[in-house]
């Protein structure tokens, strides 16, 4: 099998036909992860039937750039509304009503079809789709208000622009992460080296060009491969990586409690194990947080064509879920909430 040379991932979704893919029996697909600690949740495998689209998590960072482009005065009705600690923004572009409701925890976007885009029909559409709309306070949208909404959406939307990913190699029989971190490039197997080539991981860590890999044409990736780093670099980078990939040579399950030795920062773990000549089995566990797609299909064996993009999509979606609902989500929610209150107070001249 040829190793893909292209590093960028331009697709927004992956298409898998799990019925036609290579699968193992329950006996062949050994347990990859053993959970013995309440801190962690082992992700279940999914029963997929037929083809499945695996999509990136929606982060809501496109509506403003879309609806403000090429909008004529006659095509638009713009107004904002506020209730409690929410801010809503609506605009009609031609016959589509585009809207965005911003709350403390999320930004919800929507598009409704409007046959006759008048203020009366818009109001009816909003009231039918959003029962609480009648309680919102409508005001005229000024350039300042629109600018505030755009700035908030850019700075406080849940999005991922960079992914720092730790990669750790475990020789056969190694279960302690502190022991795994001692491995160097002289210790790794040919199978592991091939795996890193499939992922596009550089052989040498280069501080000057650490974000030279890209996912989905816009998300920069920095790989922190433990076998290429000194102990000091490992402490600086891998100890501060939220996502860790563990490639293990052993067929014995990885024990979740051992992951605590990676430190408090690490939240999401992907365990990889070789299967046959060219396949890979995956397992995922993480600290308590919202479950995120795509789930790994039961008994499925990944190959060199879909391994990288699935892993990167899984990590990307996990980083979004981490911000929305996890044990550390307050780190993301608090700044969003405070700036939402500030913006609403400025727009409506009231204290919230």
Does residue 112 carry a pLDDT above 60? yes
Residue carrying the six token digits 């299909």: 297
Q: What is the mean pLDDT of residues 96-101?
A: 65
Does residue 187 carry a pLDDT above 80? yes
Domains of the chain: 13-57+161-328 (3.40.50.11210), 63-157 (no CATH)
Does residue 238 carry a pLDDT above 90? yes
> What Rg do the C-alpha atoms of the chain give, in angstroms?
24
**What does the alpha-carbon distance between residue 272 and residue 304 come to, in Å, rounded to a whole number?**
13
pLDDT of residue 148: 73
257 CB-contact burial (10 Å; exposed 0-12 / middle 13-18 / buried 19+)? middle
Does residue 64 carry a pLDDT above 60? no
**What does the alpha-carbon distance between residue 319 and residue 132 come to, in Å, rounded to a whole number?**
31
Mean pLDDT across the chain, nearest whole number? 77
Judge contact between 288 and 41, C-beta under 8 A.
yes
Tokens representing residue 328 in the block: 């550390």
- Phi and psi, residue 87, nearest 5°: -130, 130
pLDDT of residue 55: 74
| Alpha helices, H only, the chain | 63-67, 119-129, 143-156, 177-180, 190-199, 231-236, 307-324, 330-348
pLDDT digits (tens, 9 = 90+) for 293-325: 888 888 889 988 889 999 999 999 999 888 877
pLDDT of residue 38: 92
Judge contact between 181 and 234, C-beta under 8 A.
yes
pLDDT of residue 277: 87
SS3 category, 328:
coil
pLDDT of residue 299: 85
Name beta bridge partners: 111: 98
pTM: 0.75
For every residue of 151-184, DSSP letters joined together read HHHHHHS---SEEEEEEEEE-TT---HHHHTT--
Highest mean pLDDT among 48-52, 77-81, 136-140, 179-183: 179-183
For every residue of 6-74, DSSP letters joined together read ------SEEEEETTTS-B--TTTS---EE---TTEEEPPPB---SEEEEEPPP---SHHHHHTTT--GG
Higher-scoring residue by pLDDT: 236, 66: 236
Does residue 11 carry a pLDDT above 60? no
CA-based nearest residue to 124, from 142, 85, 94, 97 = 97
pLDDT of residue 186: 96
pLDDT of residue 126: 67
Task: Report CA-CA distances (Å) from 73 to 112, 113, 167, 216.
Answer: 19, 19, 53, 35
CA-based nearest residue to 33, from 206, 170, 183, 190 = 170
Q: What is the mean pLDDT of residues 112-139?
A: 65
Highest mean pLDDT among 90-94, 138-142, 267-271, 333-337: 267-271
């Amino acid at each position: 099998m040829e190793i893909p040379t292209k590093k960028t991932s331009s697709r927004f979704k992956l298409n898998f036909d799990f019925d036609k893919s290579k699968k193992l029996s329950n006996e062949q697909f050994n347990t990859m992860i053993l959970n013995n600690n309440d801190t962690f949740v082992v992700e279940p495998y999914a029963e997929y039937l037929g083809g499945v689209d695996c999509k990136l998590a929606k982060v809501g960072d496109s509506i403003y750039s879309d609806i403000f482009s090429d909008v004529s005065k006659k095509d638009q009705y713009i107004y904002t509304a506020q209730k409690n600690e929410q801010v809503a923004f609506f605009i009609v572009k031609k016959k589509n009503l585009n809207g965005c409701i911003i709350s403390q925890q999320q930004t919800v976007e929507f598009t409704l079809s409007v046959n006759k885009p008048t203020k009366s029909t818009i109001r009816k559409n909003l009231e039918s789709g959003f029962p609480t709309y009648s309680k919102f306070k409508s005001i005229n949208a000024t350039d300042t208000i629109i600018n505030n909404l755009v700035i908030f959406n850019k700075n406080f939307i849940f999005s991922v622009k960079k992914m720092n990913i730790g990669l750790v190699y475990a020789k056969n029989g190694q279960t302690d992460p502190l022991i795994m971190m001692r491995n160097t490039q002289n210790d790794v197997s040919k199978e592991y080296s091939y795996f890193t080539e499939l992922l596009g991981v550089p052989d040498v860590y280069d501080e000057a060009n650490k974000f030279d890999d890209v996912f989905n044409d816009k998300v920069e990736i920095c790989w922190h491969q433990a076998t290429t780093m000194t102990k000091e670099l490992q402490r600086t980078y891998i100890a501060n990586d939220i996502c860790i990939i563990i490639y293990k040579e052993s067929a014995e399950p990885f024990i979740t409690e051992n992951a605590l030795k990676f430190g408090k920062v690490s939240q999401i773990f992907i365990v990889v194990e070789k299967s046959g000549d060219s396949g890979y089995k995956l397992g995922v566990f993480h600290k308590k947080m919202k479950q995120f797609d795509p789930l790994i299909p039961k008994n499925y064996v990944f190959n060199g064509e879909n391994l990288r993009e699935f892993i990167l999509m899984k990590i990307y979606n996990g980083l979004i879920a981490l911000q929305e609902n996890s044990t550390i989500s307050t780190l993301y929610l608090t700044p969003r909430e405070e700036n939402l209150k500030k913006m609403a107070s400025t727009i409506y001249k009231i204290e919230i």
